[in-house]
Amino acid sequence: MAQLLKAANPLMILRNHLIKLTVAVATFAGLVTDAWSVTEQAGRTPSGAFYAIEVPDGWQPGDGLVLVNHGFDLQPPVGTPSLGPDVLKQRMLEQGYALAASSFSDRGWALFSTDTDYAELMTQFQASFGEPGQIIATGGSLGGIVALQQAAQLQGNQVNGVYALCPPAAGSRVWDQAFDLRLIYDAVCADVSAGRLPSGGDGLPYALDESDIEDWEAWIDGGRAYTAINRCTGIDLPDFLVSNGMERRLNQILGVSGVTREFFIINMAYATFGLSDLLRSEQKLNGRPALDNRFVDYGDAQINQDIRRVQADRLAALDLKLNYSPRGDLRGAKVLSTHTSGDGLVVPGHQQVLRSLLPPEQLTSAYVNEDVPSHCGYSDAELVAGWDELRLWLDGGPQPTVGSLNATCLGLNGSGVQGECRYDASVVAEPIEQTLRPRLLPSFPLQGRSTGLWFEPASSGQGYVVEALPDGRAVVAWFSFPALGEDADQAWFFGTGEIVDEAIVIDDMQRPDGARFGNSFRPEDVQFTSWGRQTFVFTQCGVGETGWSAVEPFASGRQELTQLTYLGGSSCASSQTVIDGLANWSGAWFDAARSGEGAFVHIQDDGRVFMLWFTYRPEGGQAWIYGEGVVDAAGITFNDLLRPVGTHFGADFDASQVRFERWGQGRIEFGECDQLTVSYAADDAAWGSGELQWGRLTRPQDVSDCAAR
């Protein structure tokens, strides 16, 4: 590779590696000619992605399908996508598999849109050819991480197997490397005449403005970025033109970043153009700083002193993680993942990340031991051997090993598929921390201590009920006010989402409405309307932030949050959740005959109880009732139930206008296991009085079931 970089036009190298990183073997000669006919289909899906499908003659619904995913591409999607290397494509078709590929609807780090892209691709395939049986996702480089994403997220279909070639298995964390490299370069080359890379505005000087990204080919062909890099480092100058200063600066950048000399230009292209597209694109981060290096130790005193320190927007960082970093949730798909040992772009340490995520019986991870470093530089025989071994495993055969991969590869050499066979169990990859330095950001993994009431101090009078559930989910209810102009005086929204480390992700917050209070309530009147998407990030115990993107007129926004109450004896002063005795009655409750309304009851160890009752007004419209009660051995008494009104949602919220109107009083009686009897008497005759039978709807994390009390 070193000789190749010196001998070839560096601008062409930069362009080739930047534009197309599919399965990056230079060419794949098709060794099998079509001996059968195929049905070909191409077109565009609703999101704008181009697609290609090939189905071999005789394919029937229930037969196998391979989803083929391409690599990183900074060009906007144009034209029919490739169905992968010829040698693999022909092998798959010969074995009776249909193939389908999407160009993706976005360029660059396309994982913000690929879930939609391949869902639309599946819809197109099913409409044209029927429901497939076994599904295998495959791809190289970025295509490898997309294949893993498909196994985790493809809705309505189970991906049975993944063939991932040199995937960035650490997911979106690869951008920490590009981010660090750009900032390291800026620090080292700051005072070099004409050695600075172009900068951008809007608080992101390390990211090109979008107009410059669009003109990225001109930046390369015109020599501006390439010339700047050479002025600072001399990376591609003849030896007699390389000064001691250039060599010193290059060695410092390489030593701190972990990037190798052979792959320096390619990595700088990603750090310049790919990073800028990620941060600037409206389809991705839309100008939000999602990368953080405040606490990174670069192992070099000068760099630690001179480098720009950037604080991330934690909600943007969460979006980047979600789009996409594997979390081991591949729904049982069998994974064969391989790497070339000298890869300096997607380093071999990514395999170690994958090994830490998946159990050994679900993953075979292997390296090919290469003499000349490459990114995904597999031989034809190595590629086909991996495919054949995975297919055998999926059909009930033994799980592949490094030894069996190499044996199959050697066998292929004798049957017409040529190429080196270098699968080697002795290869040990450098730790991923060599290029992906730890961020050490403050965070607080969501747990039982996070369950309680949360609010933004600046908008007191509204807030959230948060419950961490024991199955990796959380339920959130937002008690708030209507948008300006709505014929209502209160509003509430709720949703159940996934806990992702220190965050909650709710893709579909709901707004129930349409029913009436009391004896006029009918479950069939409740209409559940999708309200929007909401995420929460908890940076430390009792401190968090939320952001939402909702339907009009609620639009989007964000709030800083502080925890107001805890369950039982839990608090940030204690190192664990402490729930015992009557606090185990905490949770969400509802009357099974009145689905569509309910309440959260949270009990502290000091005898205080907080209840949020979500219901409807007698004349229709959402209502929520708040009360602080006192618990005794038999139940809970609420002498003053309140219904706050008087202001509106979002920018129209005015805390000074909130009126805490007394609604009435109530009593909860403890019954049999997970049964409560609720009696209430409103001050206003229109609300009346009555009795409800509540059963448990949620059991928060660390709340004991009846048998354990």
pLDDT tens, residue by residue, 135-191? 999 999 999 999 999 999 998 899 999 999 999 999 999 999 999 999 999 999 999
Q: Which amino acid is at 206?
A: Y
**11 pLDDT more than 80:** no
Mean pLDDT calculated for residue range 553-563: 96
Tokens of 135: 């599904």
**33 pLDDT more than 70:** no
pLDDT of residue 575: 78
**438 pLDDT more than 50:** yes
Phi (first) and psi of residue 163, to 5 degrees: -115, 95
pLDDT band at residue 442 under the 50/70/90 scheme: confident
pLDDT band at residue 6 under the 50/70/90 scheme: very low
* CATH class for the region spanning 2-170+325-434: alpha beta
Top-confidence residue, 19 or 143 = 143
Q: Which amino acid is at 130?
A: G
- Of 306, 299, 300, 342, nearest in space to 24 by CA: 342
pLDDT of residue 594: 95
Which segment of 14-18, 58-62, 261-265 scores lowest on mean pLDDT? 14-18
Residues 6+ apart with CB under 8 A from 143: 22, 23, 68, 69, 70, 71, 165, 167
**36 pLDDT more than 90:** no
Which segment of 95-99, 207-211, 640-644 scores lowest on mean pLDDT? 207-211
Report the DSSP beta bridge partners of residue 309: none
**64 pLDDT more than 80:** yes
Count of Cβ atoms closer than 10 Å to residue 395 Cβ: 10
**384 pLDDT more than 70:** yes
CA-to-CA distance for 458 and 655, rounded, in angstroms?
8
pLDDT of residue 35: 53
Residues 6+ apart with CB under 8 A from 300: 252, 255, 256
- Specify burial of residue 36 (Cβ count, 10 A radius: 0-12, 13-18, 19+): exposed
CA-to-CA distance for 83 and 103, rounded, in angstroms?
10
pLDDT of residue 577: 80
**691 pLDDT more than 80:** yes
Which segment of 1-10, 216-225, 309-318, 440-449 scores lowest on mean pLDDT? 1-10
Task: Using CA atoms of 52, 57, 62, 63 in order, give the dihedral in degrees to the nearest 10.
Answer: -80
pLDDT tens, residue by residue, 287-302? 999 999 999 999 999 9
What are the Cα distances from residue 396, in Å, to 121, 384, 390, 391, 392?
28, 19, 10, 9, 7
Phi (first) and psi of residue 557, to 5 degrees: 180, -175
What are the Cα distances from residue 362, in Å, to 331, 334, 355?
10, 5, 10
pLDDT cut 90: percent of the chain above it: 85
What are the Cα distances from residue 47, in Å, to 77, 164, 175, 218, 320?
11, 25, 25, 28, 21
**21 pLDDT more than 50:** no
pLDDT of residue 436: 94
- Of 181, 362, 356, nearest in space to 260 by CA: 181
pLDDT of residue 14: 46
The answer to whether 534 touches 546, Cβ cutoff 8 Å, is yes
Phi (first) and psi of residue 360, to 5 degrees: -55, -35
CA-to-CA distance for 136 and 703, rounded, in angstroms?
41
**120 pLDDT more than 90:** yes
Give me the residue spans of the domains in the chain: 2-170+325-434, 173-312, 448-708
Mean pLDDT calculated for residue range 115-129: 97
pLDDT tens, residue by residue, 575-620? 778 888 999 999 999 999 999 999 999 999 888 999 999 999 999 9
The answer to whether 533 touches 549, Cβ cutoff 8 Å, is yes
pLDDT tens, residue by residue, 315-351? 999 999 999 999 988 999 999 999 999 999 999 999 9
pLDDT of residue 18: 43
> For residue 163, how many C-alpha atoms fall within 13 Å in the half-sphere facing its CB?
28
**3 pLDDT more than 60:** no
38-44: strand order across its sheet = 38-44, 50-56, 98-102, 65-69, 135-140, 161-165, 334-340, 363-368
The chain-wide mean pLDDT, for the chain, equals: 92
